[in-house]
Structure 1
């Protein structure tokens, strides 16, 4: 059984005074995520990747089709089901500034899922917070800082730590390492790989960077103009054949360090 599945998802955004101006952002998208699997969703800006991420995380509703978790459609969920889903599926956005409360400290930001989803408070929560800060390579004293006292890369790592605090089964990473430098990108991929090996965490890794997808993922989906236009497994003579896939594969990007650096 799939961990998370999309069936014929479509999403239309309406604009204008009467709402008659329509833009189809997703067009009958179907995908399956298995436990312990890492899937890359590739595509250029505006192709619908982030909209799909929000639908899969239950933050928006589709205009057609459905999202299923553990074989059950999300609209059938009760309060307890939604609580379990929120813990199991975590989304890390591309923009960390818009994803946090600027008046909360780092400790308060990370403590939120610990309190609401795992029932941890006080010293037990603080122990978890310090462990999560170490995991994302932030100093212990970062716990007392406000978001505006951190760099963009540091704040993104806080958002990753907050998502990991829920001990999710699936992490949806929406360009979540794009604004980190190459060293930190590799470090985060190494952390995600350890969680995959140790806890069976699944990942939907949304990116436009094929290098990262090849390094970390089992399977690649290519998205263009609201549709999935190609699917292939990573490994061996890996090559993309769709027009959009070839454009992404031919993009000139800096060379990645050898794979063994991920364990360093």
Structure 2
């Protein structure tokens, strides 16, 4: 059974009078994510990746089709079901600044899911916060800092720690490491790999960087204009074959582009 799935999911953003007209962000998208699997979703900006992420996380509802968790449609969920779903599926956004309350300290930001989703407060919550900060390579004294006192990369790691606080079964990472430098990207991928190994965490890794997908993921989906246009497994002589997939693969610079140009 799939852990999380979309079945014919479509999303239209209405912009005309009485809801007429609009832009189709997703057009009959179907996908499955199995327990313990890491799936990459590739595509250029504006192709519908973030819209799909919000639907899969239950933040928006599809205009057609459905999203299913552990075989059940989200449309049938009651209050207790939603609480369990919020623990199981966490979304980390691309822009960490808009994803946090600027008036809360790092400790308060990470404590929120601990309190609301796991019922942890006081000493128990503080211990968890400190462990989560260590996991994302932030110092213990970051607990008392405000978001504006952190770099963009540090704040993104706070958002990752907050998502991990819920002890999720699935992390949806919407360009979540794109603001980190190469060293921290590798460090975060190592952390995600450890969680995958130790806790059987699944991932939907939304990115435009094919190199990150190749390093970390089991399977790659390619999106173009609101549709999934290709699916392939990672490994061996990995190559994308759809026009959109080839365009993404061709956009990757070689390790030493200047040297290659001279050699040619």
In the superposition, the TM-score normalised over structure 2's length comes to 0.95
Indicate the residue corresponding to 1:39 in structure 2. Answer: 39
Q: CA deviation at 1:183?
A: 0.5
In 2, distance between residues paired with 1:247 and 1:189? 25
What are the Cα deviations for residues 58-77 of structure 1, in whole angstroms up to 9, with x where unaligned? 00000000000010000111
In 2, distance between residues paired with 1:168 and 1:133? 17
User: Given the alignment of the two structures, is residue 172 of structure 1 paired with residue 198 of structure 2, yes or no?
Assistant: no
Indicate the residue corresponding to 1:56 in structure 2. Answer: 56
Q: CA deviation at 1:16?
A: 3.7
Indicate the residue corresponding to 1:207 in structure 2. Answer: 207
Q: CA deviation at 1:8?
A: 0.1
- Structure 2: give runs of 5+ residues left out of the alignment: 257-264
Q: CA deviation at 1:254?
A: 6.4
Q: CA deviation at 1:253?
A: 3.6
In 2, distance between residues paired with 1:3 and 1:209? 25
What are the Cα deviations for residues 140-170 of structure 1, in whole angstroms up to 9, with x where unaligned? 1100000011111110000000000000000
Q: CA deviation at 1:251?
A: 1.1
Q: CA deviation at 1:15?
A: 1.1
Q: CA deviation at 1:19?
A: 3.4
4+ residue runs over 4 A deviation:
none
Indicate the residue corresponding to 2:84 in structure 1. Answer: 84
Counterparts of 1:1-264 in structure 2 under 5 Å? 1-253=1-253, 255=255
- Structure 1: give runs of 5+ residues left out of the alignment: 257-264
What are the Cα deviations for residues 96-146 of structure 1, in whole angstroms up to 9, with x where unaligned? 011000000000000000011111100110111011001111111100000
Question: SS state of the match for residue 104, structure 1?
Answer: coil
Question: SS state of the match for residue 102, structure 1?
Answer: coil
**CA-atom RMSD in angstroms:** 1.1
Kindly tell me the number of residue pairs found equivalent between the two proteins.
256
In 1, distance between residues paired with 2:254 and 2:114? 38
In 1, distance between residues paired with 2:155 and 2:17? 37
Q: CA deviation at 1:172?
A: 0.2
In the superposition, the TM-score normalised over structure 1's length comes to 0.95
Question: SS state of the match for residue 2, structure 2?
Answer: coil
Question: SS state of the match for residue 161, structure 2?
Answer: helix
Question: SS state of the match for residue 110, structure 1?
Answer: helix
In 2, distance between residues paired with 1:146 and 1:110? 12
Q: CA deviation at 1:22?
A: 1.1
In 2, distance between residues paired with 1:164 and 1:97? 18
Question: SS state of the match for residue 19, structure 2?
Answer: coil
Change (3 A) 1:117 1:255: farther
